[in-house]
Amino acid sequence: MKKISVLLLLIFLSFSCKNDNPQVYTETGKALGTTYQIKYFSSENFNTEKALDSIFEVINTSMSTYQDDSDISRINTRNEDIKVDIHFQEVFQLSKQIFKESNGYFDPTVGSLVNAYGFGPNKPLNEPDGAVLDSIKQLVGFEKVRLSSDNTIQKENPNIYLDFNAIAKGYTIDVIAEYLDSKKVENYLIELGGELVAKGKNLERESSWNVAIDNPQQTEAERTLQTVLALKNRAMATSGNYRKFRIDSITGNRYVHTINPLTGKAEKSNLLSASVLAENCTLADGYATAFMALGYEKSLEMLEKLDNVDVYFIYVDKQESIRVFTSTGFEEALR
């Protein structure tokens, strides 16, 4: 009996140490056309790299417009009548939600217009003539696409082009978070292309996860930070690709062009950057894109109708001065 008691005690102590002293693990790499970094604390050493590779492969096979044989590419280019997987279904439904909440400014079918205008950091902005614009507008409008009961995609016009790149990164982060949750990981930070999900805290520093927002006036040669916040049990996404800013020839100020899906026009936006906190990264990613399309004033109107969403907006006022709007919840997270 004594030997058994000692053995049981050793087993108990080993499990106690295992639970009380989780180790830090870090995974880095490239996926979805960008980089990722994951830091988590766990008492168990499991094969995260293999799981991540599997997640990225599944997401790409479902929704990558850069992969010719993905489901979305087959729907776009060959109009194949295929059943889409659960990932495609969830992203479609959440995109439809944000499309409605933004009154159509968040639109996964806007790619045809974006290509027509030739957006890019060093490209002149094309101005399609009226006839061309009218033709392209027939291909824009997420209300023209539906997910049928048999999980196939039905389009009013076969040439409508679907693109979930504005929300797919956030969704992928949520899938990774679900995987870590399934492994009973209670403290982690996931970053993919600048989008983030944080849970628990950074056990190395015994503090919340600290993350930064870039300064929209930074140069390519030198990265500067706008602010830092403590992120806990929330997701954050920022929209506002600083390399796509243009310089106003009269004022010298930076601004961005954005497409209005409702009119088909390219408009000068006074919202330079939108950082969004939400319950998951899919919504944060989608809302950040929607706000950039809406502009500052309309974004504030939309924000009033959303629950559990906080924002940090960097915008240009009527006097061409850069201003910041911070919602109450975001203000509380700032260090």
Binding-site residue numbers are 166, 285, 289
Tell me the residue type at 44.
E
Q: Nearest to residue 103, comparing CAs of 277, 305, 254, 257?
A: 305
Measured in residues, the chain has a length of 335
Bind-site residues for Mg(2+): 166, 285, 289
- Residue 90, both tokens: 């969830």
